[in-house]
Structures are given as C-alpha cells and as structure tokens.
Chain A
Amino acid sequence: MMLAAIENLGSITLSHYIFTSALLFVIGLIGFVTRRNMIVMFLCTELMFQGAAIAMIAFGRFHLNASGQVFVIFILTVAAAEAALALALVVLLYRRRETLSAEVWSELKE
C-alpha cells in the first residue's frame, strides 16, 4: 500500500503536505525537549505552530474552503501574542540570572 503511495508520487497529493507539516511539528518537538536555551525553546514551539499552519492550509485547499486559512490568521495572532509574553518573561529572567539556560530554573522539585 505504502509502496504504491510512493510510486505514485508523480503528482503531489495532500499526504505530501501533511507529511511535511508533521516533520516540522516533530522537529519542533524534538528541539523543544533538547535545547536548553529558552529563546530557542520558544522558537521550537513556533515551529510546531508552523507545522500546524501548513496542515491547516493544505487541508483547506483539499476541502476547498477558506476556514483553514482563516484559522492560520488566528494562529499567527496568537503566536505573536505568545511570543511577546514569552520574550518579556525571558528578558525578566535574563535580568535575574544573566543566562538564557532553562536549567537554572529548577529549584522546585520533589
């Protein structure tokens, strides 16, 4: 089944776009859990949002309606709002500890 799918790739289908979006999403996830720099971590969540946005647009094209694109507009808005807050928080934290490492903030634990 899948081999058939690969061989038929002459024409680009929805699956290709979704696969790209899934790759971006997963790479963002990996980055989020492996990077220790808070700003890069947040960039990684933006990458995950980006993956979701591509999926939205691709599905929107597939279903021939505009809802997906409208959704992406709102994703952009929220991403901007989150980024503003996150960066303000990071600035605050950086002033405290003079480092961007997330690991210095690990006093609360069992």
Chain B
Amino acid sequence: MADKLWFLIPEIWLFVGVVVVSVMGLSRRKMFRDLLPLVVCVFLVGAFIITPLLYSEQRISAAGLLMPMLGKYVKMLVCAIGVILTMLSVGLIDRDLEASMSAGRTRFDPIRVNRGEYFSFFMLSIIGVMLVCNANDLIWLFLALELTSLPTYIMVAISRPSRKAQEAAVKYFFLGAMSAAMFLYGFALLYGATGEIELTKLRDVFAAQAAAGGLNRVAIVGLILTVMGISFKMAVVPMHFYAADVYEGAASPVTAFLAFVPKTAGAVALILILSTVGWSGHYGNGAHGLPREILTALWIMAVLTMTLGNIGALLQRSAKRMLAYSSIAHSGYILIGLIAGPPHGLNAVLFYLLAYGVMNTAAFAVLASFERKGEEIESLADLAGLRHRYPVMAVAMALAAGSLIGFPPLLGFAGKLYLFIAGVDAGHIALIVIAGVNSAISAFYYLWLVGLPILAQSTPQSETVVARPVVWPRVAAIVTAIGVVILPLFAQSLLKASQAVTVERETTALDVTVAPDQPEQPTSP
C-alpha cells in the first residue's frame, strides 16, 4: 500500500496546487488572479520533476501494478503538455469581467470570478489522467476516468460566455454520462466473469480461462462494453458523435485540452484493460493478438474511425471542426497500436500520444492566438494570408498541419511510422493499407491549413483578424512548432522512453499459463 502511495506523490502535489489555485482565484488583488497560470505551471513543472524520482526499481516491483512504468512516461508527458495548455488558457476566462473590473465599472465579486475554479478543474482533470496510470483495480480506474471527464464538462461550459459553449457542455456531459454507464456495466460484467476487480488478478483469471479453451462469454461482452465505453474519451467511431460539436463549441484552449487530456486517459485505460486479456492469443496455436471478438471489434472501430474522421474533415469550413474530425482520425491511428499490442504497438501509442499532443496543440494554439471583434476565430477563411501580418504564426500552423499529415521529417511522421511498423509487424497489413489511404486523404484538408496561411492572399474578412492582446498563446504556438521540428531529432531517445513502459510486462503477462493454484477452472462446453 505504502509503495503505491509513493507513486501518488505527484498527484497529491498537484492537488495541493488545486487548493492553492482555487483560493488564489478568490483574491481581491488582480495581481494574484493574474498569477494563476504561473502557479499552475509551477505545480505542473514540480510534478514533472518529482515523477521520475519516484520510480525506483524496488518500489516498482513492490507496487504490483499491471504496467508500472506507464505512469512515469504518461505523467511526465501530461505535465509537459499541460504547461503548454496552460499557456493557451491565459486570459481566456473572465476576460470581459476582468476588463470591466480594472476599468472600475464593476466591483470585485468573488462569486463572479471563475478563473481560479477554471484552473482547478484544469489541474483536477490532469490529476485524473495521472491517476489512470496508477490504476490497479476497476474501482480506481472508474474513479480516475470520472475525475478526468467531470471537470472537462464544466470547463467547456464556462470556457466562453456563449450559448455554443453551453450547448457543447450539454452534449458532452450527457453523452459522457451515457458512455460512463456503458463502461460501468462492462466493469460489472468483467467482475462477474472473474470475481476479481484487481487488474493483475483479472489478468491471471483470464489467462486461466484462455488456457482452458477461451474467455467466458460474460468476459467478452464485458470487455466490448468496457472498451467501447472508454473509447468515448478518445472519440472513436461509433462513440465519436459528440466530438465535432463539442470541439467547435468550446473555446480553442479548452478544445486543445479536450483533444489531448481525455484522449490520453482513454488510451491509457484501454491499454490497461486490454492488457488484462493480453495479446498472447487465446485462439489457435501460436497465434498472436487479442481474443478474436475483441480484435474484430477494435478492427471495425479503427477502420471506421480513420475513414469517417478523415472524410468528415473534408467538408468542413471551420478550422476547429476540421481539427475535431482530424482528432477522430488520429484516434483511429492510435487504435492500430492498441491492436498491434506490446511491445511495439503500445510503445508506438505512447509515442504517438506525445507527437499528437505537441502537433495538435500547436494547431490549436495558433487558433487561440487570434480573435476578431473579441470573438475567437473559427473558420478557415480567417486564416487566409496570415503570412502577411503574422508570418511566424503562419509557419507554425503550416508546421503543425504538415506534422499532422505525417510529413517527413516532422514529428508526426516519426509517430506514424512507428505505429505503422508496429501494425505491420503484428501482421495487420490490410489495416495499415487502409491507414495509408486515409493518411493520403488527410493531406487534402491539412494542406488547406498549410496553404491558406502561407500561400493565399488576405481577404477583407481575414484582414480583421488580429492577435489577442495576451502573448502566451503565441508563445505556446511557437514552442510547439519548434517542438514539431526539433523533437524528431530526439525520436530515438523519446522512443526509448516510451519503450521502457512495456518492457516489464512482456516477460510476465504474456507467458502466464495456467497457474497450479488457481482456485477455479472454468469448464468449457
């Protein structure tokens, strides 16, 4: 128990941050309120530094987690991207209120300021993702997933004072609650099929069942409900319907958050859940891969997700909506890694999360940097001819889009390459061919994001677009754009970092055979 608590130190530290931030947000002094993002960054950086110190060999072996090293990588990743996302959020909440307060027209009212709460939710959601990595039982997984999602619902609602944001919140919340009920029922069935809720024990029971002739029907249905329910967080078809509307309705910084944080939580949770059944192949001699039913389901989902995501993006005139669909498509690519399984598929997923986090945040950062008449920009036409007035931002957008296409040598290429290699290595060539075709389709719409800012001429409409008075979103865009270019040079070491995650479980989980002291031996008809 104590060993597990050690791993929770970053989360506890961030929770201290939540308290500090929410109290500071109530301060009468404007300076304190303006310092909030800085404080958030300090706490995130602190967690980033603490995390690697905690993962010592001895604690890892004592904790008995399913994938102990997962936490180290994912927590650091989320904290690092979290800092960027914080930059995006600077000056987003209470803009009008703060302006009127500083002009002296409105008196300070602690009830009306939301900034502290916003950043508390921001950090709570990040805590949620970090906790998902530590999950060793279904209860913990359920709670951590809820802690990831619930704050995001509110963040969407308060992200901007428009009806669109509230509509987005309604859709996100209600559909999210439905999906939560789905995977909860799945959890119940998993528990029913095994009698255990600890993931490591689930894994042992499943291995025993598999050795005795295949997984229980209850386990299969439970797994499908669980996987599809959780895939809501990743916006995987058919659980993707909310994505476009919600991403469009929320303010760009929050959209960037939604596209990364819950998606990471979903991917990590899926890794954990699928690890319990393992990729060791439950059917046939020496066959690799997930149980056939789960594999088929994931296959269908991956193909549909890539295809519908990409063709959905083609028609969009709104940059945010286009990025929403592209985010769906990227979830499809991530599913390839999940299908391929350890070690490469999972490493590739984790590496891709990093790549996706950086490049997608870069694209949203550019969108978040501009406004027109006090409203944030949405349509593609607003980006036309950006080069003339903001060349750096135009280049950042082009780099982000190029990387999202998977253009060598940018970051997205390395990520996609590794995913595809993993998929091919696992023998899913048809899937990779479909992914390749989709990747080609995606070039059509991403090239708009390259072409419009750089090649096109400004229009009267796009002339009215101006940079937001806050400089930080632009800094975030530049930092991530540089990351898109520079990080591929370190692809090797980053890959190593993500490889470390799954090294341990290869030897343990994959070779589990029927343990002699299994209390129950399900008989197969």
Interface residues of A (CB under 8 A from B): 18, 21, 25, 28-29, 32, 38, 41-42, 45, 48-49, 51-53, 55-56, 58-60, 62-63, 65, 67-68, 70-71, 74-75, 78, 81-82, 85-86, 89, 92-93, 96, 102, 105-110
> B146–A78 contact, CB under 8 A?
yes
Q: Give the residues in chain A near B184, CB-CB below 8 Å.
A: 48-49, 52, 75
Per-residue contact bits, chain B 166-196, to A (CB 8 Å; 1 contact, 0 not): 1111110110011011101101110110011
> A93–B139 contact, CB under 8 A?
no
What are the 7 tightest A-B residue pairs by CB atom distance, in nearest-first order?
A: A63-B195, A48-B181, A59-B192, A108-B245, A55-B188, A105-B167, A45-B177
A88 to B339 CA separation, bound complex (whole angstroms): 40
> A48–B142 contact, CB under 8 A?
no
Chain A's interface: helix, strand, loop or mixed, by majority? helix
> A85–B170 contact, CB under 8 A?
no
> A67–B143 contact, CB under 8 A?
no
> B157–A105 contact, CB under 8 A?
no
Given A52-B184, A56-B188, A108-B245, output 17 extra A-B contacts at Cβ < 8 Å: A25-B185, A32-B174, A32-B178, A41-B174, A42-B174, A42-B177, A52-B187, A60-B191, A62-B192, A62-B195, A68-B188, A81-B150, A82-B146, A89-B157, A102-B174, A109-B245, A110-B315
Provide a sorted-by-A list of 30 A–B residue pairs whose CB atoms are within 8 angstroms: A25-B185, A32-B178, A38-B170, A38-B174, A41-B174, A45-B177, A48-B178, A48-B184, A48-B185, A52-B184, A52-B187, A59-B188, A59-B195, A62-B195, A67-B196, A71-B138, A71-B188, A71-B197, A86-B177, A89-B153, A89-B169, A89-B170, A93-B166, A93-B170, A102-B170, A102-B174, A105-B170, A106-B167, A107-B163, A108-B167
Instruction: Report how many residues on chain B are interfacial, defined by Cβ distance under 8 Å.
Output: 39
User: Known: A48-B178, A108-B168. Is A78-B195 also a contact (CB below 8 A)?
Assistant: no
Centre residue among A60, A71, A92 by max chain B CB count within 10 A: A71
> B146–A96 contact, CB under 8 A?
no
Nearest residue, chain A, Cβ from B188: A55
Check if B505 is an interface residue, CB within 8 A of chain A.
no
A78 to B140 CA separation, bound complex (whole angstroms): 12
User: What is the CB-to-nearest-CB distance from B524 to chain A, in angstroms, rounded to a whole number?
Assistant: 15
Q: Give the residues in chain B near A74, CB-CB below 8 Å.
A: 139, 142-143
Q: Give the residues in chain B near A51, CB-CB below 8 Å.
A: 185
User: What is the CB-to-nearest-CB distance from B22 to chain A, in angstroms, rounded to a whole number?
Assistant: 16
Interface residues in B123-163 (C-beta closer than 8 Å to A): 138-139, 142-143, 146, 150, 153-154, 157, 163
A107 to B249 CA separation, bound complex (whole angstroms): 10
